[in-house]
Amino acid sequence: MSDFDVSGNDKELQEFLMIEKEKAQVNAQIHEFNEICWEKCIGKPSTKLDHATETCLSNCVDRFIDTSLLITQRFAQMLQKRGGGDL
Amino acid sequence: MAMANVDKGELMEQVKQQVAVANAQELLTQMTQKCFKKCVNKPGTSLDSSEQKCISMCMDRFMDSWNLISRTYGQRLRREQSKF
């Protein structure tokens, strides 16, 4: 095992780095959701999150993901119809 | 070989720490922006006690929100995965 090309030769390290990268991506996604959904759902901060606010936050995450999936789908259809040539 | 194992373990720990630090930094940046926006509407010459109280509550609600969203996202990921 060479001193410098550790990740190239080391399966365990490669896997570890891949998992840590995925974890970091999940964190980044959560920050993004929190930023967007805070604006949509939180009014004046009080002593706890009431039930309506919690429902709003939870729905916000699911609807954002639904939106992303829908746009991906429709965009693929748009590309098919136009033949994809112009883009 | 023993030397290589120690280095790898340290490297893995460093990576984990860096990920944690980056996460905390993002959290603080977001929290500061959101709570300033909610709580400090007319910036004066210092933060008065109602502003400080608001910021304190805001921080707690921000963490509540983060945790709830984290849970919801995890549940949604598992739902999507189980479809395959």
User: What value does the mean pLDDT take over residues A7-24?
Assistant: 87
Question: Is B15 in Cβ contact with A45 (below 8 Å)?
Answer: no
- What are A23-49's pLDDT values in tens digits? 999 999 999 999 999 999 999 999 999
Q: What is the pTM of this model?
A: 0.83
> Which residues of chain B register pLDDT less than 70?
1-6
- Whole-number pLDDT of residue B83: 87
Residue B1 lies in a domain: no
**Complex-level ipTM:** 0.85
Cα gap B52→B28, rounded to integer Å: 16
Per the structure, the count of domains in chain A is 1
Q: Is B70 on the interface with A (CB under 8 A)?
A: yes
CB atoms B39 and A45 under 8 Å:
yes
The reply to whether B58 touches chain A by the CB within 8 Å rule is: yes
Q: Which residues constitute the domain of residue A41?
A: 11-81
Nearest beta carbon to residue A33 from set B22, B54, B69: B69
CATH number at residue B20: 1.10.287.810
Touching check for B36 and chain A: CB below 8 Å? no
pLDDT above 90: residue A71? yes
Query: CA A87 to CA A13: how far, in whole Å?
Result: 40
φ and ψ of A38, to 5 deg: -60, -45
